[in-house]
Every structure is written in structure tokens, then in C-alpha cells.
Amino acid sequence: MEHKEQKDQVSAQRVWQPKVIAFVCNWCTYAGADLAGTSRIKYDANIRVIRLPCTGRIDPLFVIKAFEQGADGVLVSGCHPGDCHYNTGNYHARRRWTLFRELLEFVGIDLRRVQFAWVSAAEGAKWAEVVNEMVQHVRELGPFEGYHVMLARSGRDAWLEKAAAGGGNGSGKGVAGGTPAVQKAE
């Protein structure tokens, strides 16, 4: 995987940049982010959006996996209560996240790394704010050393080096021991 090596070199040279992964619903937040685009509202580039139909589709597993991929922060965002395209998906999601975030807090994860937002299709500006705020928080917290060290001890040697070098961006590989599905399908 040549691109990976290239990327690693680049990230080693650069100063650390937060890696924030966002899981958003298609109908509100994704559209809101589109609106931020059409309105040309600028925001921090350290965010990568994964589009899902509904916040109800977002599984806590996604958040864990994002951290395993070296994310320094995870953002979950969808339609405001009452606005869900699927009527009640976000209500169920809200219960799920109410519990999950308290669990993460209980095991020592700073909740500024896991944030939740309601961003409607009309709230392009709010999306930009939410992203900027999130990235800013993560910047203040620095790389998610705790998780990175755990990953490194789990066999991802590259992590330790990168953490030391100040590079945080993940590569396209699964956690050692886990099935690197990316390669498997090829």
C-alpha cells in the first residue's frame, strides 16, 4: 500500500493535527454540512464525515472503532428531537448515547472527545461552529495518548512511534489481531 507510506511520511513531518471522525445522519446534519458548503462558511479541516441514514443507525461500535483507528475525537450528529426523518430514530439514539457517554466517562475518557450535536438541514452555520468547537477541544486535549498507547501495546508498534513523533493520523489498517477487512476484500 504505497499511499500509506507516503501518508505516514507526510504526517511525521507535519505537526500533530487532531483527527476527528464524525458520524452524521443523511437528512439533517449531512444536509446542514452541505448548507455550510453552499454558504461558504469556513471551518476546521480536521474532520472526516461518515454518512449514515439516521443517528439511529450509529452503533457505539462505530465510536470504539473510530478510536481504534486513532481518532482523537468522535462527533455524532443528527436531526433535532422531533425532526427525525424516520420519526423516532434520534430518540432511540439519544437514549443510547446518554448511556454510552456515561460509560465512556466512567472508564476515564474525557467527554470532550466524544460529542453529540443536533444540527438541522438549516443549520449550516451551527455545523461549522460544532466542528470548530470540537476540533478546538481536541486540540486542547492533545492526541488521545491513552488510547494510542493502548493500541500500541496491542501490537500496533507504529502507534508508539507516531505518538512520539507527534503524528496522529491513522493508516488504512485495522487493529492488529483484528481482521484488516480493507485488505481482505481485495
Residues from 98 through 117 that contact another protein (CB under 8 A): 98-110, 115-117
Say which amino acid occupies 156: R
Interface with another protein (CB under 8 A), residue from 8, 16, 158, 174: 174
Q: Does 138 bind another protein (CB under 8 A)?
A: no
Q: At what angle do helices 2-13 and 157-165 cross, to 10 degrees?
A: 30
Q: Does 155 bind another protein (CB under 8 A)?
A: yes
Provide, rounded to whole angstroms, the least separation between the CB of residue 95 and another protein. Answer: 5
Number of H-type helices and E-type strands within the chain: 8, 4
Provide, rounded to whole angstroms, the least separation between the CB of residue 163 and another protein. Answer: 14
Q: How many other CB atoms are found less than 10 A from the CB of residue 47? A: 21
Q: Does 118 bind another protein (CB under 8 A)?
A: yes
Interface with another protein (CB under 8 A), residue from 9, 88, 157, 161: 88
Q: Does 182 bind another protein (CB under 8 A)?
A: yes
Q: How many angstroms separate the CA atoms of 23 and 58, rounded?
A: 7
Q: Does 161 bind another protein (CB under 8 A)?
A: no
Q: Does 1 bind another protein (CB under 8 A)?
A: yes
Provide, rounded to whole angstroms, the least separation between the CB of residue 134 and another protein. Answer: 9
- Name the one residue in this structure whose C-alpha cell is 443536533: 118
Nearer Cβ to another protein (87/164): 87
The closest alpha carbon to 70, from 180, 162, 164, belongs to 162
126-147 exposure pattern, b = at least 16 Cβ within 10 A, e = fewer: bbbbbbbbbbebbbeeebbeeb
**Element spanning 84, H or E:** none
Q: Where in 58-77 is the site for another protein (CB under 8 A)? A: 58-62, 64-66, 68-69, 71
Sign of the torsion formed by the C-alpha atoms of 132, 133, 136 and 137: negative
Q: Where in 28-57 is the site for another protein (CB under 8 A)? A: 28, 30-31, 33-38, 40-43, 45-46, 48-54, 56-57
Provide, rounded to whole angstroms, the least separation between the CB of residue 164 and another protein. Answer: 18
